[in-house]
Structure 1
Amino acid sequence: MDGANPTPVSMRAIVANKPTAMGKPNWNLEHVNLRELDSNELLIRMVATGVCHTDMIFASMPSEAGAYPKVLGHEGAGYVHKIGSEVQNAIVGDSVLLSFQSCSICKNCKANHPSYCQQFQAMNLGGEQGVFEMTSGSKASGAFFGQSSFSSYAIVKESSTVKVTELVNNEEELKLFAPMGCGFQTGIGTVENLTAAGSQDTIVIIGLGGVGLTAIMAAKMKGCAMIIGVDRVLARLEMATSFGATHVLNTSDNKLDLTQEIKTLTGGNGSTITIDTTGNLGLIASGMDFTGLRGQMVLLGVPPMDASLAVNLFSFMQTGKRLLGSIEGDVTPSEWYREGKLPIDKILKFYPVEEFQLAMSEMDAGVTIKPIITW
Structure 2
Amino acid sequence: MLARGVKAGDAALDVTACTALVHGCCRGGDVAEARRVFDVMPLLGLAPNEVTYTALMHGYFIHGHKEKGFSLFEDMRRVGVEPNLYTYNCLIGECCRTGEFERAHNLFDEMSEKGIVRNAVSYNTLIAGLCKHGKLWNAARLLDRMRKEGTRPSIITFNLLVDGYGKAGKMSNALHFFNQMKAAGFQPSAVTYNMLIAGFCRARDMTRANRALSDMKERGLEPTKVTYTILIDSFARENDTDKVFEMLTGMEKAGLEVDVRTYGVLIRALCMEGNMKDAKKLFQSMGEKGVEPSNVIYDMMIYGYGREGSSYKALKFIMEMRQKGLVPNSASYSLTIRILCRDDKCQEAEALIDDMVHAGLQTSESIRQALLDAKARWRGSTDSSFA
Q: Scaled by the length of structure 2, what TM-score is found?
A: 0.23
**Bigger Cα Rg:** 2
Q: Which has the higher helix share?
A: 2
Q: TM-score, normalised by structure 1?
A: 0.23
More strand by share: 1
